[in-house]
Amino acid sequence: MVSANTDLVYNSKIEGDVVISRADAVINWIRTNSMWPMPMGLACCAIELMAVAASRFDIARFGAEVMRFSPRQSDVMIVSGTVTYKMAAAVRRIYDQMAAPKWVIAMGACASTGGMYRSYAVLQGVDRILPVDVYVSGCPPRPEALLDAVIKLQEKVKREPSSRRLLSA
Amino acid sequence: MPSADFPESRSAVADLKARFPRITDRPSLDHPAVNVPAAEAPALLKSLKEERGFDMLVDLTAIDWAEGASPRFTVVYHLYSTERHDYIRVAADCPDDSAPVVPSVTAIWPGANWHEREAYDMFGIRFEGHPDLRRIIMWDSYPYHPLRKEFPLAGIETELPDAEVAGETGAKLIPAPMMGGPFVASPGKINMSEAEPGAKDESWTEKDEKP
Amino acid sequence: MAAEFKYPDAAAMSAAGESETEKMSLSMGPSHPSTHGVLRLQLELDGEIVTKADPVVGYLHRGDEKIAENMTYNQFVPYTDRLDYLAPLANNMAYAIAVERLAKLEVPPRCQAIRVITAELARISSHLMGVGAYAIDVGAWTVFLYTFGEREKLYRLFEELTGARFTTSYTRIGGLARDVPDGWLRRVVEFCDQFLPIVEESMSLLTRNKIFMDRTVGIGVISKSDAIAYGLTGPNARGSGVPLDLRKDRPYSGYEQYDFDVPIAVNGDCYDRYLIRGEEMRQAVRIVRQAVEKFPDGPWFATDARKIFAPPKDKILTSMEELIQNFMLVTEGPQMPAGEVYFEAENPKGALGFYIVSKGGGVPWRLKIRAPSFCNLSILPKVCVGALLTDIVSILGSFDFVMGECDR
């Protein structure tokens, strides 16, 4: 919501149970707080991704409750682990199958830049094939770092001019 | 522990020399090891499995001694005996240096199937008699054999395996940027000037931007 | 009373002209919730029954063996972490011992005891993950959350010891990165004390659970001769009755002083493999307790290895000779003699082997990693044929493989 529900601004006795806000704010609020991840769990970072989904560092608190492995039902693809050239095709295809709006978090050093694997088989950064929104460094990043990335992505999404895109689409 | 003795295996090797006169001792720091000509390797391995109790093939790999060495490729088998709990190493040099071929042992151990496919993929060694010799680690249309010594660690520019994705993203398999990369790279004795920190393979630097 | 389920005989049906069926080709993976990593199974299905299964691996091939030819022995330790990334400390130990065999170097008993404790804790961690992921594949969320809670406690212990939750890079050639901190051993024993009741509780959710048993008993049976022929090791081999355990058969790093049992099963199905992992966790706790009781004093690195292990930091910063020694070690690497060695360690997934060919100097000529998951997966084309599609998920979970290791 754009403004807090204070008596200065909004009085339910006068205005009733209707809250007026900007379309951008509502759309972005909905998107950020229910951002379902598509876990592209490839290697060791996938284990930290699972730890983020488990009880101690619960990612469900941030709305990313459902780790659906179905691209059609997810919003953000978390590329966690080394992307090899052999796997790059599959990653790109799955990204294409995701419905807009979609974002990408490159988790870990290998997804961001190829990591410590400077070799013939490793794609040097998943941003060569996908547009990445947030990069997380670490090998593997701590779960808190991934949660920080989710929060940064949420802040980035809050700044998007969503309604203009929706209406002009 | 490091210098354990393997009396059973050593006596097995001694007996084998009577039946397979062309095997020689191979210097090894731990397990008993023999060299055998590639054509006789399956017969020797079968005899080791059936008569000497080395029933498990734990590893099948190859070594590339670099261009210029002859023989250039050596296929190494490690066998393990589940009864006596010891190993033996059998090494077979490939007769041809440019198109290495050795007989396959998948008939003796079905588990050798994948190991041989990997040796083919990484080194280009063909295994005669293998039911399904194709690449296993790299994609089928990859043109090179990565573990050969002349193949650079950074890789050689190639097309991506999937044409659709390559067209969509414009990505290619490019040599990895080794800027400041591993700075010791010569096995054996190296001199200090080569060992100084410095990139050995510079595909891009600060002045030449990342493609 | 339900009638016994009979698999439809497709050949007989089509011969009798009863139904025209076509085989369907299904590609399972590489991105799939149940394939435990990037494994692709190219399946040919006749209805629900698999007639052909061809695993495609290599989606996580990072070129470790080629990288090893360009790195010194100590520089390669972080790459060994990421082989079996569920039990990195065990891989570190296997690699360090293999290189020490090359140098014919013995590490002191304290170093061996620390390595054993960390390897067994890594075994517990890996089997917790194995059981948890298997449970979540067959539909039991709760077990996964309980086992991951225990793994978090182990991560806290590892972080205190090594600095990283996992991917620890803890061993060095000739010793370790650092000694155990004060009070760590006491915390390890506290963990062991509270761990056993929780693992009993988590496994009791599955062990006599009718749904779990239906999905695992009699599924994915591997015979003893097949297990040996395909080179299976670890819980997969022991599940089929092959009495192989390198900790007992060829003890290394002081395992001969500890008293523990090795579970062997006879049926060779998924249920047996699951039970073996549970029992191995209990035995690992036993080993850790004994190792902590017998924990020796003394140096935690090989003191007579001047060209292999770096001297203590305070000496490096103050004394010229140690400074030069450290410089040589970092630039040229630990100096190893020429020769070949092959060493296998009993990792949680099976026998992880390192075959090192050295021409002298600090960098290996060839380093082959014998990955247990690579060999374990090679039996898939045989095991999957004739199974239902849903059984494939169960079989894959029971194998407990890791693609980082398989593809290297």
pLDDT in tens, A35-57: 899 888 888 888 888 888 888 88
Which of C241 and B175 is assigned the larger pLDDT?
C241
User: For C356, phi and psi rounded to 5 degrees?
Assistant: -115, 125
Query: What is the DSSP-derived secondary structure letter of residue C301?
Result: B
Residue C6: count other Cβ atoms within 10 Å of its Cβ: 6
Residue among C33, C59, C152 whose CB faces A56 most closely: C152
Instruction: List alpha helices for chain A, DSSP H.
Output: 12-15, 23-33, 44-53, 85-97, 109-113, 143-158, 162-168
Residues 185-204 of B with CB under 8 A from C: 185-190, 192, 195-197
Judged against a pLDDT cut of 70, whether residue A9 lies above it is answered with: no
Judged against a pLDDT cut of 60, whether residue A68 lies above it is answered with: yes
Give yes or no for a contact between C252 and C97, defined as CB atoms under 8 angstroms apart.
yes
The average pLDDT across B10-34 equals 80
Quote the pLDDT of residue C25.
Answer: 87
Judged against a pLDDT cut of 80, whether residue A141 lies above it is answered with: yes
C62 CA to chain A: closest CA distance, Å? Answer: 6
Q: Do A116 and C79 lie within an 8 Å CB cutoff?
A: yes
Q: Which of A120, A124, A132 should one mutate to test binding to chain B, selecting the residue with the greatest count of B CBs within 10 A? A: A120
The average pLDDT across B146-172 equals 79
Whole-structure pTM value: 0.88
Instruction: List alpha helices for C44-180, DSSP H.
Output: 64-68, 77-81, 88-103, 109-138, 141-162
Please, is C47 exposed, middle or buried when counting C-beta atoms within 10 Å of its C-beta (0-12, 13-18, 19+)?
Answer: middle
Instruction: List alpha helices for C208-269, DSSP H.
Output: 210-216, 224-229, 235-238, 246-249
Q: Do A40 and C129 lie within an 8 Å CB cutoff?
A: no
A106 CA to chain B: closest CA distance, Å? Answer: 17
- Contact list in A for residue C166 (CB cut-off 8 A) is 44, 47, 140
Q: Do B160 and A114 lie within an 8 Å CB cutoff?
A: no
- Contact list in C for residue B30 (CB cut-off 8 A) is 101, 341-343
Judged against a pLDDT cut of 70, whether residue A62 lies above it is answered with: yes
Residue C117's pLDDT band (cuts 50, 70, 90): very high
Residue C124's pLDDT band (cuts 50, 70, 90): very high
The average pLDDT across A71-85 equals 90
Q: Do B155 and A86 lie within an 8 Å CB cutoff?
A: no
C126 to C39, C284, C378: CA distances (angstroms): 19, 11, 21
**Average confidence score pLDDT of chain C:** 87
What percentage of chain B has pLDDT greater than the value 70? Answer: 78
Q: How many CB pairs under 8 A join A and C?
A: 85
Q: Residue A122 forms beta bridges with which residues?
A: A84
Interface check for B139 against chain A (CB to CB < 8 A): the answer is yes
Q: Which of C61, C166, C405 should one mutate to test binding to chain A, selecting the residue with the greatest count of A CBs within 10 A? A: C61
- Contact list in A for residue C79 (CB cut-off 8 A) is 116
Judged against a pLDDT cut of 70, whether residue B187 lies above it is answered with: no
Quote the pLDDT of residue B200.
Answer: 54
ipTM for the complex shown: 0.87
Quote the pLDDT of residue C71.
Answer: 84
Query: What is the DSSP-derived secondary structure letter of residue A159?
Result: T
Quote the pLDDT of residue C276.
Answer: 92
Give yes or no for a contact between C352 and C91, defined as CB atoms under 8 angstroms apart.
yes
Interface check for B161 against chain A (CB to CB < 8 A): the answer is yes
Judged against a pLDDT cut of 70, whether residue A1 lies above it is answered with: no
- Contact list in B for residue A88 (CB cut-off 8 A) is 160, 162, 165, 171
Find, in chain C, the residue whose alpha carbon is nearest to that of B76.
C355
Residue C260: closest CA among C400, C120, C130: C120
Residue among A55, A84, A91 whose CB faces C60 most closely: A84
Residue C167's pLDDT band (cuts 50, 70, 90): confident
Quote the pLDDT of residue C9.
Answer: 67
Quote the pLDDT of residue A168.
Answer: 66
Quote the pLDDT of residue C187.
Answer: 93
Residue A70's pLDDT band (cuts 50, 70, 90): confident
Residue among B146, B154, B173 whose CB faces A118 most closely: B154
Residue among A54, A69, A121 whose CB faces C62 most closely: A121
Interface check for A37 against chain C (CB to CB < 8 A): the answer is no
- Contact list in A for residue B175 (CB cut-off 8 A) is 120
Residue among C104, C333, C339 whose CB faces B184 most closely: C333
Single-letter amino acid code for the residue at B62: A
Q: Do C63 and B153 lie within an 8 Å CB cutoff?
A: yes
Quote the pLDDT of residue C34.
Answer: 64
Secondary structure (3-state) at A135 = strand
CA distance C373 to C395: 14
Residues 120-159 of B with CB under 8 A from C: 122, 135-139, 146-147, 151, 153
Quote the pLDDT of residue C182.
Answer: 87
What percentage of chain C has pLDDT greater than the value 90? Answer: 34
Quote the pLDDT of residue B2.
Answer: 35
Residue among B122, B187, B197 whose CB faces C359 most closely: B187
User: For C36, phi and psi rounded to 5 degrees?
Assistant: 50, 50
Instruction: Determine which of A80-84, C161-165, C272-276, C309-313 has the lowest per-residue pLDDT on average.
Output: C309-313
Interface check for A92 against chain C (CB to CB < 8 A): the answer is no
Judged against a pLDDT cut of 80, whether residue B208 lies above it is answered with: no
CA distance A91 to C316: 47
- Contact list in A for residue C158 (CB cut-off 8 A) is none
Secondary structure (3-state) at C352 = strand
**Neighbors of chain C with 3 or more C-beta pairs under 8 Å:** A, B
Interface check for A121 against chain B (CB to CB < 8 A): the answer is yes
CA distance B36 to B16: 11
Which of C317 and C5 is assigned the larger pLDDT?
C317
Quote the pLDDT of residue A6.
Answer: 47
C59 CA to chain A: closest CA distance, Å? Answer: 5
- Which of B96-100, B133-137, B201-205, C305-309 is modeled with the greatest confidence? B133-137
A21 CA to chain C: closest CA distance, Å? Answer: 40
Within 13 A of C403's CA, how many CA atoms are on the CB side? 33
C52 CA to chain B: closest CA distance, Å? Answer: 14
Instruction: Determine which of B121-130, B161-170, C215-224 has the lowest per-residue pLDDT on average.
Output: B161-170
Q: What is the pLDDT of residues B58-79, one digit of tens each?
A: 999 999 888 777 788 999 999 9
Quote the pLDDT of residue B68.
Answer: 74
Quote the pLDDT of residue C20.
Answer: 63
Q: What is the CA radius of gyration of chain C?
A: 23
Quote the pLDDT of residue B3.
Answer: 36
- Contact list in A for residue C31 (CB cut-off 8 A) is 40, 69, 90-91, 94
Q: Which of A38, A84, A96 should one mutate to test binding to chain C, selecting the residue with the greatest count of C CBs within 10 A? A: A84
Q: Do A44 and C79 lie within an 8 Å CB cutoff?
A: no
Residue B161's pLDDT band (cuts 50, 70, 90): confident
The average pLDDT across A146-158 equals 91
